[in-house]
Amino acid sequence: MVALKNIIVTMKVTPKPEEIRFDPITKTVDRSKATNEINPADKNALELALQLKEKYGGKVIILSMGPPFWDQFIKMGIAMGADDAVLVSDRALGGSDAFVTSKVLAAAIKKIGDYSLVITGEESEDGSTGQVPPGIAEWLGIPAVTYVSQIVDVTEDSIIVRRTIKGGYEVVKVKLPAVLSVELGVNTPRFPDFERLQWAQSEFKLTIWGIKDLGLTEDEVGFKGSLTAVTELRELRPRERLRQFIEGSPEEIARELIKRLGLK
Amino acid sequence: MPVTVNFSLREELLKVVPTLSLCYQCGTCSTYCPITDESYNIRLLVKKAQLGVVDNRDFKVIWDCVTCGTCQALCPNNVEIVNLVEVIRTMAMKSKVFPTKINEILWKIYENQNPWGYTVTDKRRFAAQFSGLINNENPDVVIYPCCLSVGDPRLQRHIKALIRVLTKAGLKVGMYMGLSCCGDIIEHTGNKAFYEEYTTKLRDAIMNNVKAPVIVTLSPHCEYSLKKYLKGVKIVHYVELLDELIRTGKLKVDKKADITVTYHDPCYLSKHQKVIEEPRRVITSIPGVRLVEMEHSREKSLCCGAGGGGIALETRVSTELSKRRLREAVNTGASVVLTACTYCFRMLEDANKVMRTNLKVMDLVEFLDSVLGD
Amino acid sequence: MSEWRGISVFIEQDNGELERASLEVLTRAGELGRKFNEEVLGILLGHETDNLVKEASRYGADKLIVVDHPDLRHYNSDAYTEVVSYIINKYRPRYLLLPATRNSRDLAGRLAVRFRACLSAHVIMVDIDEKDRKLVTAVPGFGGNIVATVVCTGGKPEMATVSPGTYEARVSDKEATVIKETIPADLVGRRRIELVEKSVSPMPDLSRAERVVVAGLGTGGDLELIKEFANLIGAAVGVTRPLADMGIVPRDYQIGTTGVSLRAKVAFVFGASGAPHFVYGIRDCGTIVAVNTDREAPIFENCDYCVVADLFDILKALIKELGGGK
């Protein structure tokens, strides 16, 4: 029987995109009024990790990088069934791009150690770069399989997974340890156990690391360490359309549309 | 097949559903149960509960129940069968035997306060439509809209109709704009801990916002659900309120309509709350309206398939039931089938789309409003 | 060491199928190359690539670097990272552009860390700054509402993955000089990922379809009539994100910021409310028809013909009027 070691699941908290307001005068984004939620694909990643643990053992550890208030969302992950969690939180991390994020997460993964798998969501709802998972793998010097939809099998030193590609899928066998990025919506994340949540809220002790704990300096992270910079934000306004209402019975509407669009 | 009685489970079940011991297996429940088939037999389930031998197979089928309450309404010994179903669902939830769809529904309620996935944007659009129609300063009654209406223009018409009719009766009408699910569906999923947390928060939000002595609902599910945890405020379904307003002469129904209608009893009015005559009195108070009854009506009425979370879970039986019910309505020869529940309306209307009958599905208040005119 | 010069484009193929989006990126690179007097390098990895090379050399590249190796027939994260790194180290292009497809994003994420280089992801505009020649891109964020202008502040090559459908692929009169590169033997041998099985079916090229019928959540996932109607008018079918989330169709058919951007002359949108990330994906369409039961739905702000009705009723009527159906 194969036994997995640590299964590290990365988790981000993202504001609901539709609730973000843009101020055209100051050209800034106001996230403060938006509701936050666990990044949707990260819930799929955690579900996949928990299913793996149920079948092949191991310890599921949530790893997150963000402000201290994310603690409440991480506890939701604990209530879903994760065993432990680490939050990398440091003021110096503000403004970090995907390059820095992958570096910091990789450093934390090394510090946690003894891992078989790092499982992430395919991308985050707010940044949508999708480059953090392969980036982590590169920092750690391990392989990555992106857009994973299913675990096929785990063998002595490898894992066999199905990944989505254009127009279909491929099944690949990859040596452990490895990074897997999980496609959004490939499973139904279990709903947290609220009794466990109550326990997590009162008893669970979240591990919090600053950048010093990871052996990183302020120059390596945040705006300073980033290789990209945002110089301007603007709102994307779709172009003006006719917006003409067509009324009548379905048949009349259909005839009118066919005529106007020259479909026949 | 002999079974070994599980005394501890038996005692546990008897503690939460004491009437369980009164069942003498007459079979009335499974005879009238709309979903009885080779896999689902409520009479057998009650017996197994009495013996404490409920197992994983029962956990699997328990999610098919639409909690219509026909079994319970007709039980000669008043065994609280629906309660038993909810208890077994909680056990099934603990044993992790439940449709995965439930996870999806619960996440949606947790993140959006409704099981349909309606977002803040949908809520904002909903609120914008009503802001000019309501008075939340010093209302006499406050409408609690069913969360299903947040994204459904047909259901929004019903709310507008209710506002107009109540205003005609001289009432100042407010609306609870939290637009949260009443918790009905959470309860049916058997997730007790989440239900407690959710309804506690909702209770505080409602009590802090509602400045009227009466809350009126369009869905009997909301009424039934709110009554469980809201104290110090009266909660009624609109048929009860309209019946009272008409009887006391505050609402005058002085317009005529020459039409034959039938009425579909929502289970959570008729069977769960014994509100049976009120809607009929409201209908027949309209001069010229002829009310004909379906083959199954009042406490024997057939469920539309939405109850017990069926509308969100989309169980195997739910759409079958709505079609069966619509056929009965067609058979009455009426031109309109009325109901007084957001779920029932939606189920019957959806069935009507597929079956393409000549019947029109309307909510009772929408019908009354159309007769009363401007 | 030599200076970092030129604009390179990763030309994606998988099992002999050329990714059209890479030709779009190549065309754009050609424009930028002419403007800034930079050499444009196409990089193509694969096996038995003759046809691909012929096709790819027509889109404005000056040079097309081809690595042909049996182990490169299929995309392999490890092997491709090693080989492309080798090519970059050899040619030292200042810029590297890739299509924002799954495989190229996978590759880009690895290369960015390997070269400690900047990477702008899923961009909807790519340009070079007139003054300092830094790579400038426009990146949609927060569900397509807001666009950020992003510049590279460090590392070479300056990288970006470009959203499919952002630029049009145009054949150039110039043909690229093909350079066949051989690679050190151990470069692909060190991979830790092996292909076990593969299954693909041909994909309609949504971003190039002239007519598209889009199904939204209002269809409840019932695409029968949508498909019938699309067939009648020779249109491709796409879906909104909630439908792709439901798993009814593969995500390749998803329209919007994280999916495909359409350039259709006519697009029908059935039962979509019009979330910004979706509207973003139809912004370049000619005429848009939307059908929704909710008159207040934001989709009606972003279409030419608005129909407030049950979408199935309209579909049935359209099918009947077009002489389809049974």
User: What is the pLDDT, as a whole number, of residue A32?
Assistant: 82
User: What is the pLDDT, as a whole number, of residue C207?
Assistant: 82
Hey, which residues does C11 pair with through a beta bridge? C44
Where is pLDDT greater, at A171 or A236? A171
User: What is the pLDDT, as a whole number, of residue C143?
Assistant: 65
> How close is the nearest chain C Cα to the Cα of A155, in Å?
14
Chain B residues with beta carbon closer than 8 angstroms to that of A43: 107
> How close is the nearest chain C Cα to the Cα of B153, in Å?
6
| Mean pLDDT in residue range C171-182 | 95
Task: Inform me whether the C-beta atom of residue B117 falls under 8 Å from chain C C-beta atoms.
Answer: yes
| Mean pLDDT in residue range B289-302 | 95
Chain B residues with beta carbon closer than 8 angstroms to that of A194: 191, 193-194, 196-197
Q: Which of A214-223, B90-99, C317-326 has the lowest mean pLDDT?
A: C317-326
Rounded distance, CA A54 to CA A257, Å?
Answer: 55
Note whether B63 and B92 are within 8 A (CB): yes
Note whether B322 and B347 are within 8 A (CB): yes
Would the CB atoms of A18 and B103 count as touching at under 8 Å?
A: no
Would the CB atoms of C304 and A242 count as touching at under 8 Å?
A: yes
| Mean pLDDT in residue range B59-87 | 95
Note whether B323 and B354 are within 8 A (CB): yes
Rounded distance, CA B113 to CA B104, Å?
Answer: 13
Rounded distance, CA A131 to CA B7, Å?
Answer: 58
User: What is the pLDDT, as a whole number, of residue B26?
Assistant: 97
> How close is the nearest chain C Cα to the Cα of A172, in Å?
4
Query: Residue for token digits 């009648």?
Result: C232
> How close is the nearest chain A Cα to the Cα of B245, in Å?
39
Q: What is the DSSP letter of C254?
A: B
| Mean pLDDT in residue range C92-118 | 97
The structure tokens listed for A133 are 């998972």
User: What is the pLDDT, as a whole number, of residue C284?
Assistant: 85
Would the CB atoms of B191 and A194 count as touching at under 8 Å?
A: yes
Task: Inform me whether the C-beta atom of residue C219 falls under 8 Å from chain B C-beta atoms.
Answer: no
* pLDDT at C326 exceeding the cut of 70: no
Rounded distance, CA A7 to CA A146, Å?
Answer: 16
Torsion of the alpha carbons at A98, A104, A109 and A111, rounded to the nearest 10: 170
The structure tokens listed for A171 are 């099944």
Rounded distance, CA C276 to CA A16, Å?
Answer: 12
Task: Inform me whether the C-beta atom of residue B185 falls under 8 Å from chain A C-beta atoms.
Answer: no
| Mean pLDDT in residue range B162-191 | 95
pLDDT tens-place string over residues B204-248: 999 999 989 999 999 999 999 999 999 999 999 999 999 999 999
CATH 3.40.1350 fits B101-244, yes or no: no
Would the CB atoms of C146 and A184 count as touching at under 8 Å?
A: no
Tell me the count of A-C CB pairs closer than 8 A: 270
Would the CB atoms of C296 and B129 count as touching at under 8 Å?
A: yes
Smallest CA–CA distance from A169 into chain C, residue: C199
Would the CB atoms of B129 and C273 count as touching at under 8 Å?
A: no
Note whether C124 and C163 are within 8 A (CB): yes
| Mean pLDDT in residue range A31-42 | 90
Residues of chain B with CATH 3.40.50.1860: 252-372
Would the CB atoms of B100 and A193 count as touching at under 8 Å?
A: no
pLDDT tens-place string over residues A94-122: 999 999 999 999 999 999 999 999 999 99
Q: What percent of chain A stands above pLDDT 90?
A: 81
- At residue B11 the predicted structure's pLDDT band, cuts being 50, 70 and 90, is very high
Task: Inform me whether the C-beta atom of residue C294 falls under 8 Å from chain B C-beta atoms.
Answer: yes
Which of A37, A191, A194 lies at the smallest CB-CB distance from B197?
A: A194
Would the CB atoms of B100 and A189 count as touching at under 8 Å?
A: no
Q: Which amino acid is at A73?
A: F
Would the CB atoms of C102 and A173 count as touching at under 8 Å?
A: no
Rounded distance, CA C133 to CA C200, Å?
Answer: 41
Count of CA atoms in the C-beta half-sphere (13 A) of A201: 10
Smallest CA–CA distance from C311 into chain B, residue: B353
Would the CB atoms of A191 and B100 count as touching at under 8 Å?
A: no
Chain B residues with beta carbon closer than 8 angstroms to that of A191: 102-103, 106-107, 110, 191, 194
Q: What percent of chain C stands above pLDDT 90?
A: 75
User: What is the pLDDT, as a whole number, of residue B54?
Assistant: 94
Question: In chain C, what are the domains?
Answer: 7-189 (3.40.50.620), 206-321 (3.40.50.1220)
Smallest CA–CA distance from C217 into chain B, residue: B117
User: What is the pLDDT, as a whole number, of residue C145?
Assistant: 73
Would the CB atoms of C141 and A147 count as touching at under 8 Å?
A: no
Note whether C264 and C285 are within 8 A (CB): yes
* Length in residues, chain A: 264
User: What is the pLDDT, as a whole number, of residue B1?
Assistant: 66
Q: How far apart are the first and last CA of chain A?
A: 64
Neighbours of chain A (3+ CB pairs under 8 A): B, C
Task: Inform me whether the C-beta atom of residue C310 falls under 8 Å from chain B C-beta atoms.
Answer: yes
Which of C293, C296, C312 lies at the smallest CB-CB distance from B125?
A: C296
Hey, which residues does B221 pair with through a beta bridge? none
Tell me the count of A-B CB pairs closer than 8 A: 34
User: What is the pLDDT, as a whole number, of residue A201?
Assistant: 95
Please report the beta strands in chain C, taking only residues with DSSP state E, as ranges in sequence order: 7-11, 13-14, 17-18, 40-46, 63-68, 95-99, 119-123, 125-128, 135-141, 146-152, 158-162, 177-181, 193-200, 211-215, 236-239, 266-270, 287-292, 305-308
> How close is the nearest chain A Cα to the Cα of B131, in Å?
20
Dihedral-angle region of residue C282 (phi above 0 means left; psi in -120 to 50 means alpha; beta otherwise): alpha
HEC string of chain A?
CCCCCEEEEEECEEECHHHCEEECCCCEEECCCCCEEECHHHHHHHHHHHHHHHHHCCEEEEEEECCHHHHHHHHHHHHHCCCEEEEECCHHHCCCCHHHHHHHHHHHHHHHCCEEEEEEECCCCCCCCCCHHHHHHHHHCCCEEEEEEEEEEECCCEEEEEEEECCEEEEEEEECCEEEEECCCCCCCCCCCHHHHHHHHHCCCCEEECCHHHCCCHHHCHHHHCCEEEEEEEECCCCCCCCEECCCCHHHHHHHHHHHHCCC
Would the CB atoms of C294 and B129 count as touching at under 8 Å?
A: no
Hey, which residues does A157 pair with through a beta bridge? none
The structure tokens listed for B204 are 């505080």
The structure tokens listed for A214 are 């990871």
Q: What is the DSSP letter of C173?
A: S
Q: Which CATH class is domain A6-225?
A: alpha beta
The structure tokens listed for B329 are 């309505």
pLDDT tens-place string over residues C263-307: 899 999 999 988 878 888 898 899 999 999 888 888 999 999 999
Give helix B192-209 / helix B101-112 axis angle, nearest 10°: 30
Per-residue exposure over B106-121, b if at least 16 CB sit within 10 Å of its own CB, e if not: bbbbbbbbbbbbbbbb
- Maximum pairwise Cα distance, chain A: 71
Task: Inform me whether the C-beta atom of residue B95 falls under 8 Å from chain A C-beta atoms.
Answer: no
Note whether A147 and A112 are within 8 A (CB): no
Torsion of the alpha carbons at C227, C228, C229 and C231, rounded to the nearest 10: 80
Would the CB atoms of A251 and C116 count as touching at under 8 Å?
A: no
- At residue A226 the predicted structure's pLDDT band, cuts being 50, 70 and 90, is very high
Chain C residues with beta carbon closer than 8 angstroms to that of A227: 112, 116-119, 152-155
Non-local (6+) Cβ contacts of A222 within 8 A are: A92, A93, A94, A95, A96, A100
Would the CB atoms of C273 and B122 count as touching at under 8 Å?
A: yes
User: What is the pLDDT, as a whole number, of residue B264?
Assistant: 98
Rounded distance, CA B282 to CA C95, Å?
Answer: 76
Note whether A70 and A64 are within 8 A (CB): yes
Other C-beta atoms lying within 10 Å of the C-beta of residue C39: 15
Would the CB atoms of B153 and C293 count as touching at under 8 Å?
A: yes
Considering the domain B252-372, what is its CATH architecture?
A: 3-Layer(aba) Sandwich (3.40)
> How close is the nearest chain A Cα to the Cα of B94, in Å?
10
Chain C residues with beta carbon closer than 8 angstroms to that of B153: 293-296
> How close is the nearest chain B Cα to the Cα of C54, in Å?
49
Neighbours of chain B (3+ CB pairs under 8 A): A, C
Non-local (6+) Cβ contacts of B205 within 8 A are: B178, B180
B310 φ/ψ angles, rounded to the nearest 5 degrees: -55, -35
Rounded distance, CA A60 to CA A8, Å?
Answer: 6
pLDDT tens-place string over residues C216-245: 988 888 899 999 999 999 999 999 988 887
Which of C275, C294, C312 lies at the smallest CB-CB distance from B153?
A: C294
Q: For chain A, what is the mean pLDDT?
A: 94
Chain A residues with beta carbon closer than 8 angstroms to that of B102: 191
Rounded distance, CA C278 to CA C178, Å?
Answer: 40
Domain ranges of chain A: 6-225
Note whether A161 and A154 are within 8 A (CB): no
pLDDT tens-place string over residues C189-198: 889 999 999 9
Non-local (6+) Cβ contacts of B277 within 8 A are: none
Would the CB atoms of C193 and A145 count as touching at under 8 Å?
A: yes
| Mutate: best of A191, A195, A196, A198, partner B, most B CBs <10 A | A191
User: What is the pLDDT, as a whole number, of residue C310?
Assistant: 92
* Length in residues, chain C: 326
The structure tokens listed for B320 are 């079958």
Would the CB atoms of A127 and C141 count as touching at under 8 Å?
A: yes
* pLDDT at A1 exceeding the cut of 90: no
User: What is the pLDDT, as a whole number, of residue B320?
Assistant: 86
Chain C residues with beta carbon closer than 8 angstroms to that of B128: 296
Would the CB atoms of C276 and A18 count as touching at under 8 Å?
A: yes
Rounded distance, CA C260 to CA C212, Å?
Answer: 12
DSSP assignment string, B150-187: GG-HHHHHHHHHHHHHHHHTT--EEE-TT----SHHHH
Non-local (6+) Cβ contacts of B85 within 8 A are: B42, B62, B65, B67, B308
The structure tokens listed for A78 are 């604990």
Question: Is the bond preceding A17 in cis, omega lying within 30 degrees of 0?
Answer: no
Smallest CA–CA distance from C293 into chain B, residue: B153
- Burial category of B300 from C-beta neighbours within 10 Å (exposed 0-12, middle 13-18, buried 19 and up): middle
DSSP assignment string, C108-135: HHHHHHHTT--EEEEESEEEE-TTT--E
Question: Is the bond preceding B279 in cis, omega lying within 30 degrees of 0?
Answer: no
